[in-house]
Amino acid sequence: MTPGSPDLHVIFGTGPLGLALMRELRARGHRVRMINRSARVGFAKDLSTEVGGGDAADPKLTREVCEGASVVYHCVGLPYARWNEFPGIMRGIVEGAASAGARLVYGDNLYGYGHVDGPIRDGLPESATTVKGRLRIEAATLLLDAHRAGRVRAAIGRGSDFFGPGATDNAMLGARVFGRLVAGKPAQFVGDPDRLHSYTYLPDFARALARLGEDDAGAGQSWIVPNAPAVTTRSIVQSIARIAGTGAKIAVLAPWMVGLLGVFSPVMRELKEMLYEFTDDFVTDSTRFEDSFDLHATPLDTALADTVAWWKAPPTATETLESPSRRRILP
């Protein structure tokens, strides 16, 4: 890094969380490099962001793309059917961050806690028995073991089901809720819409990860990122409809139907073991992060209004970026 130049932050993963984090880091004045398999990313024009590609499980690749980085972020998302790749990806990204002497921040979810009786808070044992929960535990354990061994300074930020600008097809509140309500169609939801649920606003998740990347006070620990107070999904649907000026109807898919559809749909088959998140209360307690870093969740009505505005006028002028220096950065 040349004197006076922005420090380099490398983000593995270019899904909704990775892109939200990129925007947050750019706003903070950091130089950003994004990595995915293809080296191509579609987002609103931002030619100042580098893009590179390759397999995050390949240590040779991760060492090369992380060279010169001060902070590395793991925001890789995969379809459920490929979650068995997460431990290998974590090993690869740890190797890249360690070789650069960079701090490593992992954007995780809450699957590792399993079915919890009461609010999910920092310090609870990770006792999931689901296949996907155990895979998340394995990946997080690999990271914290590397931290304890002195290989890398690491922190974990854990968010719940997220929503916000850019969260579309794979988000529970994305196209099936925001998208349909803004279009005047009934929202679609799997589970019980009258149970309390904590949802994470994507820009809040990004701010929390950026803070963990800048502040070593979070190292060696996992943190539940700030969430607004839990409400029912039905009340969220009503608020979205009020803000959008449309009807607030909701079509509910009963859990037994998920099992039936799982016979034909791999996605539904994989979703079945995680339905407890939506058939029971699923509430987080993020006060430890908020008190430690003086960073709080965006008020829910503000977050919903900003997301409705995005759905009403999503970016139309997008570019698929490929780093002009790709061959220099990557094999």
First to last CA, the chain: 21
Q: In degrees rounded to 5, what are phi and psi of residue 211?
A: -65, -40
Read off the tokens for 132.
């996907």
For 325, other C-beta atoms within 10 Å of its C-beta total: 12
Give me the pLDDT at residue 42, please.
64
* Token pair belonging to 314: 């999503």
Entry pTM? 0.92
If we measure between CA atoms, which residue out of 46, 66, 45 comes closest to residue 54?
A: 66
- Going residue by residue through the chain (331 aa), what tens digit of pLDDT does each one get? 444 456 999 999 999 999 999 999 999 999 999 999 887 776 544 557 888 889 999 999 999 999 999 999 999 999 888 999 999 999 999 999 999 999 999 999 999 999 999 999 999 999 999 999 999 999 999 999 999 999 999 999 999 999 999 999 889 999 999 999 999 999 999 999 999 999 999 999 999 999 999 999 999 999 999 999 999 999 999 999 999 999 989 999 877 777 676 666 666 677 788 999 999 999 999 999 999 999 999 999 999 999 999 999 877 544 444 443 333 333 3
Joined tokens for residue 281: 């209360």
pLDDT at 328: 34
Q: What is the pLDDT of residue 146?
A: 98
Q: What phi and psi values does residue 174 have, to the nearest 5 degrees? A: -80, -115
Q: What's the pLDDT score for residue 326?
A: 37
Any idea which fold 8-159+202-227+284-298+315-329 has?
Answer: Rossmann fold (3.40.50)
Quote the pLDDT of residue 43.
56
Distance CA 191, CA 35 (A): 35
Integer Cα distance of 133 and 110 in angstroms: 8
